[in-house]
Amino acid sequence: MIKQTLILASTSPFRQQLLEKINVPFQCISPNIDETPLADETAEMLVQRLSIAKARAVALPHGNCLVIGGDQVAVINGKIIGKPHNFDNAFAQLKQASGQTITFYSGLCLYNSATNTHQVVVEPFKVHFRALSDAMISGYLHSEQPYQCAGSFKSEGLGIALFSRLEGKDPNALVGLPLITLIEMLNNEGIEVLEHQ
């Protein structure tokens, strides 16, 4: 039996769906923190800082809990790209990504409120894009409308057709929650996922 409450510091439906895969009971609580990048902060530094901040923000008002904090950014040609929010921005992002490689950095923190300790990693994942025509980009965007997704695609959907190759430890990291690493972190806290099935 898991003694501590497991909390996902996120309201992202994508992260919730991923966490449900490992079949461990959890709650979702929004962290409500300022996610503005600091001056001269690299992508890796940003996602690490925000992952810890989200986990701590949710853990503080709760007692004996383990809190999962996560954050993700995409980087193309050294520049952080965010969520496009609309067709025009998404079109521009995919046009820029055509034939290029985008690196996604996923920050993951597991915070133990009982011991006031945390584990944190930043996991890179590379997406190699096919050469995309304007018609391909428009067709994809009208079909899937990925306007709330960093990089302007959903890899778990039709977005897979945009890629020539994926490169990384865990394909779940691309969706926003590196499960392989999370399972290792839970194990370090004495939770063996397979023993709780």
Is residue 68 within 8 Å of residue 19, measured between CB atoms? yes
Instruction: Out of 3.30.2310.20, 3.90.950.10, 3.30.360.10, 2.30.130.30, select the CATH number for domain 5-196.
Output: 3.90.950.10
d(CA 124, CA 54): 20
SS3 content of the chain, % helix, strand, coil (to 5): 35, 25, 40
The pLDDT-based confidence of 52 (bands split at 50, 70, 90) is very high
User: Which of residues 135 and 3 earns the better pLDDT score?
Assistant: 135
Which residue in the list 34, 71, 88, 134 is annotated as catalytic?
71
Predicted local confidence at residue 176, as pLDDT: 85
What are the pLDDT digits (tens) for 25-38?
Answer: 999 999 999 988 89
User: DSSP secondary-structure letter at 161?
Assistant: G
78: left (phi over 0), alpha (psi -120 to 50) or beta: left
3-state secondary structure of 149: coil
Q: Which two tokens stand for residue 156?
A: 């778990």
Q: Can you give the C-alpha Rg of the chain in angstroms?
A: 17
Which residue ranges make up each domain of the chain?
5-196
Residue 3 scores a pLDDT above 90: no
Up-side HSE of residue 28: CA atoms within 13 Å toward CB? Answer: 12
What are the pLDDT digits (tens) for 76-113?
Answer: 988 888 889 999 999 999 999 999 999 999 999 999 99
Active site (annotated) includes residue 170: no
Predicted local confidence at residue 1, as pLDDT: 47
What are the pLDDT digits (tens) for 108-160?
Answer: 999 999 999 999 999 999 999 999 999 999 999 999 999 988 889 988 889 99
pTM for the full model?
0.90
d(CA 176, CA 163): 18
Predicted local confidence at residue 156, as pLDDT: 81
Task: Count Cβ atoms below 10 Å from residue 187 Cβ, excluding itself.
Answer: 12
Q: In Å, how far are 36, 77, 78, 109, 170 from 55, measured between CA atoms?
A: 17, 30, 27, 7, 21
